[in-house]
Amino acid sequence: MHERRTGLATRVALVTTLAAAVAVLIAGLLSGLLVRAATQSTGRNTLKQYANLAVAAAESAKTGRTEVPARISTLLRPLNIRVLVVQPDGRVTGPAGAVAATGTVKSGEIAALAAGRNVSDTSKIGGGNYYVEGRPITSGPGAGGGIVLLQKVTVARAAERSIGLRLLVALAAGLVVAALTGLLLARRLARPLQHAAGAARRLSTGARDVRLVPEGPAEVAAVADALNALSSALATSEGRQREFLLSISHELRTPLTAVKGYAEALSDGVVPPAAVEATGQILLAESSRLERLVSDLLDLARLGAQDFRIDVASVDLVTLVNQAALVWSDRCAREGVLFGLEVPSTPVIVQSDPTRLRQIVDGLAENALRVTPAGRPIVFAVSASPYEAVLQVRDGGPGLTPDDCRVAFDRSALYDRYRGVRRVGTGVGLALVAGLAGRLGGRAAAGRSPEGGAAFTISLPRAIPG
């Protein structure tokens, strides 16, 4: 069973909402502290201003008594600010002269006013917390006394609740907007990925006309570009595979038809006794051709596998090419092709697989002999530098164009170009040579030869003395 996974859109929406919630919580806590401090400061500052106003009014009063004018009391009453008067003799009275309750103004505060100092304090009176603001009276009949204003802390900070409620509403609205934005963003991010997943599923079912419009962020658009490239590459690869299979089918059919035809002739007894030996030789040659083709195909298929066998040993390229020359000089002679050998007098040692190296030489020689007309040369050559050994097979055939050289080792590339124009192989041999060279740590290259045809060069790393 497939594990049910949460969608990208859901995850992004949850993450953005959680991030927004954390941000709102932090913002709310900090804002609450700032609002609390601001309202507290504002309430006390306002009370200070009223205290300054009240003492100024008391000093300018012409009644001959220490009191707060009635207009000031009327102004402060709706604000729940209580006005007390400290007489020069230390008594505490209300605005109209009535004696205030004991403890409303502390003795220390009375002494501070008598000494001419301002009082700014918070005091617990009757079970409630009050802001206390006192100002000394320095002139007039009340000199030596003072004015004291009392206001409950909860009243002074009443705006805090209103501001806090508005702040809470604003933060909640911000959270909702952030969640909705995260949801829309998540859907926008997930949509092109969903399209890409659908395209990948279509590719897996064999569709090759899949095309996506790149959209979304650069990384998501890159997925669409990659899928488009993959679709094109698969279409190209499968097209080449079809062409390759068609060409291989044709190459297999030719020797099979010959084998079948001669075998039927032998079976039906229509081959005269004098021709039996020649017929057997034809059957043997066609069977060998089939065997070589099947062997090349298997080797080409196994090149990319991990279990492709490479037996590394010290190999003298000079000896290996001399041994190959014994076989191929005889074959060239039978075809009327000239054979040449260019090797140094000293060994050229490489660490490689001798069997695979001989397979490379035979493959290149087979290709050269196929295209070289009678009277033209084929040359085996070996050369060396301090770090590299070079094995070369050159021919006097029709040669290759610069564009041919670029694709010479691509499977079936030259076969498709020259089929029906000149003698060609199966399209497998040169691809196998390049693959083998790569697995041996070397590289293959194609070019023009001094003999007028093609030159195929295999470069291998030299063995470094220990």
Name the pLDDT band for 301 (thresholds 50, 70, 90). Answer: low
Q: Find the range with the poorest average confidence among 58-62, 145-149, 248-252.
A: 248-252
Identify the CATH number of the domain defined by range 221-302.
1.10.287.130
Nearest to 72 by CA among 61, 86, 62: 61
pLDDT surpasses 80 at 465: no
Q: Find the range with the poorest average confidence among 207-211, 409-413, 421-425.
A: 421-425
* pLDDT score at 255: 67
Rounded distance between C-alpha atoms, residue 318 and residue 131, angstroms: 110
What would the mean pLDDT of 143-168 be, rounded to a whole number? 77
pLDDT, tens digit (0-9, with 9 covering 90-100), for 364-413: 998 899 889 999 999 999 999 888 999 999 999 988 889 888 888 887 77
Q: Pick the more confident residue, 244 or 16.
A: 16
| 9-160 under CATH 3.40.1620, yes or no | no
What would the mean pLDDT of 169-182 be, rounded to a whole number? 79
* pLDDT score at 328: 92
Q: Find the range with the poorest average confidence among 92-96, 226-230, 405-409.
A: 92-96
What would the mean pLDDT of 413-434 be, rounded to a whole number? 71
Q: Give the CA-trace dihedral at 359, 363, 365, 370, to 10 degrees.
A: 150
What would the mean pLDDT of 433-459 be, rounded to a whole number? 92
Q: Are 128 and 157 in contact (CB under 8 A)?
A: no
Nearest to 324 by CA among 368, 266, 375, 282: 368
What would the mean pLDDT of 191-195 be, rounded to a whole number? 77
* pLDDT score at 449: 93
Q: Pick the more confident residue, 276 or 120.
A: 120
Q: Mean pLDDT over all residues of the chain?
A: 80
* pLDDT score at 151: 87
Rounded distance between C-alpha atoms, residue 406 and residue 130, angstroms: 96
pTM of the full predicted structure?
Answer: 0.47
* pLDDT score at 277: 83
Q: Pick the more confident residue, 51 or 195.
A: 51
Q: Which of 53-62, 111-120, 171-180, 445-454 has the highest mean pLDDT?
A: 445-454
Rounded distance between C-alpha atoms, residue 108 and residue 193, angstroms: 76
pLDDT, tens digit (0-9, with 9 covering 90-100), for 263-289: 888 888 887 888 888 888 878 877 876
* pLDDT score at 107: 83
Identify the CATH number of the domain defined by range 313-461.
3.30.565.10
pLDDT surpasses 60 at 96: no
Q: Find the range with the poorest average confidence among 76-85, 208-217, 342-351, 420-429.
A: 420-429
Phi–psi pair at 166, nearest 5 degrees: -65, -40
Q: Pick the more confident residue, 132 or 180.
A: 132
Return the domain boundaries, the chain. Answer: 9-160, 221-302, 313-461
For β-strands 377-384 and 338-342, DSSP reports them as parallel
pLDDT surpasses 70 at 99: no
pLDDT, tens digit (0-9, with 9 covering 90-100), for 232-251: 888 777 776 665 565 566 55
The conformational region for residue 420 under phi > 0 = left, psi -120 to 50 = alpha, else beta, is left
CB neighbour class for 183 (10 Å; exposed up to 12, middle 13-18, buried from 19): middle
Phi–psi pair at 190, nearest 5 degrees: -75, -30
* pLDDT score at 86: 86
* pLDDT score at 1: 46
| 3 state SS of 199 | helix
Tokens at residue 461, please? Answer: 């790393």
pLDDT surpasses 70 at 193: yes
* pLDDT score at 223: 82
Compute CA distances 139 → 280, 431, 434, whole Å.
145, 115, 114
Q: What string of DSSP letters covers 318-356?
A: HHHHHHHHHHHHHHHHHHT-EEEEE--SS--EEEE-HHH
pLDDT surpasses 60 at 306: no
* pLDDT score at 380: 96
Q: Find the range with the poorest average confidence among 2-16, 355-369, 426-440.
A: 2-16
What would the mean pLDDT of 103-109 be, rounded to a whole number? 81
What would the mean pLDDT of 190-210 be, rounded to a whole number? 79
Q: Find the range with the poorest average confidence among 121-135, 257-271, 321-335, 417-431.
A: 417-431
